[in-house]
Amino acid sequence: ATSLSMSRAATAAVAFVARDIAHRVTSHAFASSSTSLLLSSSSSSSSLSFVLGLTTTSASIATASAARSLRTAHTVGARAAVRAFATRAMGKPSTPPSHGVAHVVKVCHDLSKFRLSVFVTSTAACGYALGSDGSIDIGGLAGTCVGTMLCSASANTLNQIIERVPDSLMRRTWARPLPSGRCTPAFAGAFAVASALGGVGVLRATTNDTTAALGAGNIFLYAGVYTPLKRVHFLNTWIGAVVGAIPPLMGWAAANARGTLDPGAYVLAGALYLWQMPHFMALAYMGKDDYLNGGYRMLSHPMYDKTGRRLAGVAVRNAVALLPIGVVAVAMGVTSSPFAYETLALGTPMVAASMAFYAKPSIVAARRMFFGSLLYLPAFQVLACLHRIPRDQSVDVYESLRQTSAAFPWHCVPFAAANDWSPERERLRVFRSRALGPALSETSYAPFPFLPLPIPSCPHDRAYAQGKD
């Protein structure tokens, strides 16, 4: 087995060197051809075409051979041997030289996936705003954003350390700091640890233990569970959706001193979870060839979905599930009623894009759905903050849910207190008792119009029937 692995590693190394040499020959051929065209007007165009065609074909053959050979080196050790052999053969330094502060800042910027981290931070900021009372604490909001940003940077860096070999095989990721050799794994590891300690420390110092624990747990979930699972099973996307839904909970918990998460906190988290499915399904379809070369088991892998319809079906279901999220936010007392109509109008185009993608899976349809999802989430967060209802942080989780259920239009949640009875509720209770009798009255939950509106039996119902307070 060791001999076989080393044989595959050596074959891959030779192919890797061949690809580099072919690339250099191609570049030299282009330069030489350009020079000859400038110096001699009598150069034959057919000869030039032959040279260019030959060098391009050589580069293509070498690249394909390298890709096939690298895919045969299944273990990380074999792939590392390939890289080391190729590095020595081509005379490249094993440790990239330092290029000053600007180079370090650029490397850290890329390791943290800065734009993605900013996007994640915005969801935590939205959660903080929705979980705040009448006035938003700017200092607490700033601490939450800084801590979340650092935690996200740490998770993204650990992800790149673990995936540095597959990243080098993908067009989308080969230019990242580790595959391109702009930094060493040791530097990336130090940056990840420093970011994790700094992020959790800032959250602990400026918010509360709950927020800090959620930040630390999310780093582990992303780097320790989601990242390894990407090369094992397509369910990694669902785990990744949970990771993306946690930052809003961090923001909500940070907005109150006790770090409590009442039911309203899960509205934005649920929206983030559902939103990620159309977004990442589109990304998986657009980059399915890249993911295949990198060895990732996404749902777009041919062994799971050859046509793209299964992947598109997941996008459609979750896009449709996003439509009533505004109604849930209003019912939970998180936002005012206009938000329900606005989110319905906002989600309809994404449903249409996902259904078009399902009807005819294509790169164009996937790209349209992908960019539509990028527009949806920022608009959703802005509207939620504009229509937010300040939280009453003087009550516990149970009382918060009781107040929310009392304001719900149907008055059919068991948490309503005795002093919340309305004349309509009393009239329906008496009518139900007379029409159905005591036995059916206590057990009937059939929906209107077949029977009167459902009013579940609860301790308050029984106490009221017995004449108690």
Give 142-193 pLDDT, tens digit per residue.
999 999 999 999 999 999 999 999 999 888 899 999 999 999 999 999 999 9
**201-225 per-position pLDDT tens digit:** 999 999 999 999 999 999 999 999 9
- Residue 235: the pLDDT is 92
For the record, the structure tokens of 453 come out as 């509106």
Q: Which tokens is 40 given?
A: 């001699």
Whole-angstrom CA distances from 403 to 264, 411, 422 are: 12, 11, 15
DSSP tag of 418: G
The total number of residues shown for the chain amounts to 469
Whether the model pTM is above 0.85? no
What's the pLDDT score for residue 397?
59
Beta carbons within 8 Å of 432's beta carbon, 6+ residues apart: 441, 444, 451, 452, 455
User: Residue 278 burial by CB count (10 A; 0-12/13-18/19+): exposed, middle or buried?
Assistant: buried
| pLDDT in the model for residue 272 | 95
Q: Which of 339, 122, 386, 389 is nearest to 248 (CA)?
A: 122
Q: Which distant-in-sequence residues (6+ apart) come within 8 Å of 286 by Cβ?
A: 363, 366, 367, 370
Q: What is the pLDDT of residue 129?
A: 95
Structure tokens at 294: 């990198």
Positive or negative CA dihedral for 439, 443, 448, 450? negative
Q: What is the rounded distance in angstroms from the CA atom of residue 416 to the CA atom of residue 400?
A: 11
Q: How far apart are CA 220 and CA 229, in angstroms?
A: 13
**C-alpha–C-alpha distance, residues 109 and 116, integer Å:** 11
Question: What is the per-residue burial (b if ≥16 Cβ within 10 Å, else e) of 312-334?
Answer: bbbbbebbebbbebbebbbbbbb
Number of C-beta neighbours around residue 284 at 10 A: 24
Q: Which of 319, 369, 363 is nearest to 344 (CA)?
A: 319
SS3 content of the chain, % helix, strand, coil (to 5): 75, 0, 25
Q: What is the DSSP letter of 453?
A: P
CB-CB contact of 460 with 414 (8 Å): yes
Contact 429, 438 (CB under 8 A): no
Instruction: Return the SS3 of 295.
Output: coil
CA distance 124 to 131: 10
Quickly list DSSP for 234-282. TTHHHHHHHHHHHHHHHHHHHTSTT----TTHHHHHHHHHHHHHHHHHH
Distance separating alpha carbons of residues 349 and 341, to the nearest angstrom: 14
Q: Could you tell me which of 105, 150, 174 has the C-alpha nearest to residue 250?
A: 150
What does each of the 469 residues of the chain score in pLDDT, given as a tens digit?
344 444 444 444 444 444 444 444 444 443 343 333 333 333 333 443 443 344 444 444 444 444 444 444 444 444 444 444 444 444 444 444 456 899 999 999 999 999 999 999 999 999 999 999 888 999 999 999 999 999 999 999 999 999 999 999 888 899 999 999 999 999 999 999 999 999 999 999 999 999 999 999 999 999 999 999 999 999 999 999 999 999 999 999 999 888 888 888 999 999 999 999 999 999 999 999 989 988 999 999 988 988 999 999 999 999 999 999 999 999 888 999 999 999 999 999 999 999 999 999 999 999 999 999 999 999 999 999 999 999 876 566 556 666 665 555 444 444 444 444 455 555 555 655 555 555 444 444 444 444 444 444 455 545 554 555 5
pLDDT reported for residue 460: 55
